[in-house]
Homo-oligomer: A and B are copies of this chain.
Amino acid sequence: MEFRRVADILKNGQPEEAVVVKGWVRTKRELKGFAFTEVNDGSSLAGLQVVLDSDIPDYEANLKQINTGASIEVTGTLVASQGKGQKIELKADTVIIYGEADPETYPLQKKRHSFEFLREISHLRSRTNTLGAVFRVRNACATAIHQFFQEKGFLWIHTPIITASDCEGAGELFTVTNFNLDKLPQDKEGKIDYSQDFFGKPAYLTVSGQLQVEAMAMAFQNVYTFGPTFRAENSNTSRHLAEFWMIEPEMAFCDLEGDQNLAEEFLKYIFQYVLDNCPEDIEFFNKWINKSLLETANNIMSNEFERVTYTKAVELLEKASKKFEFPVEWGIDLQSEHERYLAEELFKKPVIVTNYPKGIKAFYMRLDEGEKTVSAMDVLAPGIGEIIGGSQREERLDILERRIQEMNIEADSLWWYLDLRRYGSVPHAGFGLGFERLVQFITGMANIRDVIPFPRTPDNADF
């Protein structure tokens, strides 16, 4: 008899079926002559209730070992449940204890633990209801993302993690080196001799795969990255990680409108997929973590996204009766309060703001006519804020070179990026979104450290 997952038994199990389950004990209740235990194997939020009659082999000895956290195997027969909350339960014939969990020292006892505490035991926290649900939903999000792009013929591209380019600002970069820091080699002038480092020059962890994936879009038309990116920002907040995963689609022969279309379709698809595939987990989050979760999801899935230019958005904000902490005028970067006003109060649905002032956006974004704005876009969602940022890229060599100069970008390492405009250049566009932010939005988890298995933050690279 092959063993079955708990999720499968709860969904498809029928009374009188003989089954074997393997998992970890969540709870135990002893009564006269019998006991209940709930076994969870991570396949679903709900565990399987197991009934142990005192006439099974080694009842007393087993019962002593069946404690929260212990791993067990139960062979028995499914019966209709008389208790509330489940339709089926397992009547045990035999029990095997694989590994005990001493109730005196096992950190996950049956009580509420703070997320702060759980972070200290990241190797065990997935065995709790909340974190278990988080990582099932995280997996569903990731699967939805691949499925969305693959169905559309986009190729998954693995852009490099280690890079010698440093074009988005040096302050936030981690250095990667093979040097023994105690014995840094020096050149004749007494400077560090990077020619002796592994890559023969200073190297860093990537902050984005966009520039490289643009090169691939110039061969395959539609591509996307889904990989880790890094920021050495010393921000100890609930919104920042030093290491996080990012998704960056890029489309050749595409303009800002096509980019907006893709972003809208993408978000609707992901939310729908997770709701369809993890209904129990999402219900749990909506009940215990963030009560407006389903409302937010439905808002995103059912509304056509509003599209306004930055210039129009500023006008609307200036007209608003609301008082903002940060005063609004053309040229400012929109603050969170402005974005929330637009999405939550004014339009009450997702909004895509486009064509931002060139001064507050990156060098590679396409310069609009009039040369005041660039073809950038930010997707703002109610209850969430900014979730996606993207742009049409500057495909005109002369303008790109001028912008690089104007913005004092170090251009030496960008020779190949300019080549893409030199040979067979095409209009192209793409966007990026942080995967952990997305998982946060879909689960309602307040702290980004609780949606990645082993978070990396200042002073923390444990596990």
- Structural contact, B203 and A424, CB atoms closer than 8 A: no
- Structural contact, B218 and A463, CB atoms closer than 8 A: no
Q: For the complex, what is the distance from the CA of A155 to the CA of B44, rounded to whole Å?
A: 12
- Structural contact, A158 and B228, CB atoms closer than 8 A: yes
Stretch from A53-61, A192-200, A287-295, A296-304 contacting the other chain:
A192-200
Other-chain contact of A426, B98, B102, B106, B228 (Cβ < 8 Å): B98
What number of A residues sit within 8 Å (CB to CB) of B?
104
- Structural contact, A174 and B174, CB atoms closer than 8 A: no
Q: Give 24 CB contacts A-B under 8 Å.
A: A23-B221, A24-B219, A41-B220, A41-B221, A42-B220, A98-B424, A99-B395, A101-B423, A102-B423, A123-B416, A127-B424, A132-B220, A135-B220, A157-B453, A158-B245, A160-B461, A161-B205, A162-B230, A164-B461, A177-B177, A177-B181, A181-B181, A182-B192, A201-B461
Q: For the complex, what is the distance from the CA of A329 to the CA of B3, rounded to whole Å?
A: 41
Cβ contacts under 8 Å, A136 to chain B: 155, 220
Cβ contacts under 8 Å, A182 to chain B: 191-192
Total copies of the chain: 2
Q: Report A408-422 residues with CB < 8 Å from chain B CB.
A: 416-417, 419-422
- Structural contact, A425 and B228, CB atoms closer than 8 A: no
- Structural contact, A426 and B99, CB atoms closer than 8 A: yes
Q: Report A220-254 residues with CB < 8 Å from chain B CB.
A: 220-221, 227-228, 230, 232, 234, 242-243, 245, 252-253
- Structural contact, A216 and B126, CB atoms closer than 8 A: yes
A454 at the interface (CB under 8 A from B): yes
Chain A 414-443 against B: per-residue CB contact (8 Å), 1 yes, 0 no?
001101111111110000000000000000
Cβ contacts under 8 Å, A127 to chain B: 218-219, 424
Asked, given contacts A158-B245, A174-B177, A174-B198, whether A69 binds B221 with beta carbons under 8 Å apart, the answer is no
3 closest A-B pairs (Cβ-Cβ)? A99-B425, A42-B220, A126-B219
- Structural contact, B459 and A199, CB atoms closer than 8 A: yes
- Structural contact, A42 and B421, CB atoms closer than 8 A: no
- Structural contact, B424 and A160, CB atoms closer than 8 A: no
- Structural contact, A143 and B124, CB atoms closer than 8 A: no
A28 at the interface (CB under 8 A from B): no
- Structural contact, B423 and A198, CB atoms closer than 8 A: no
A212 at the interface (CB under 8 A from B): yes
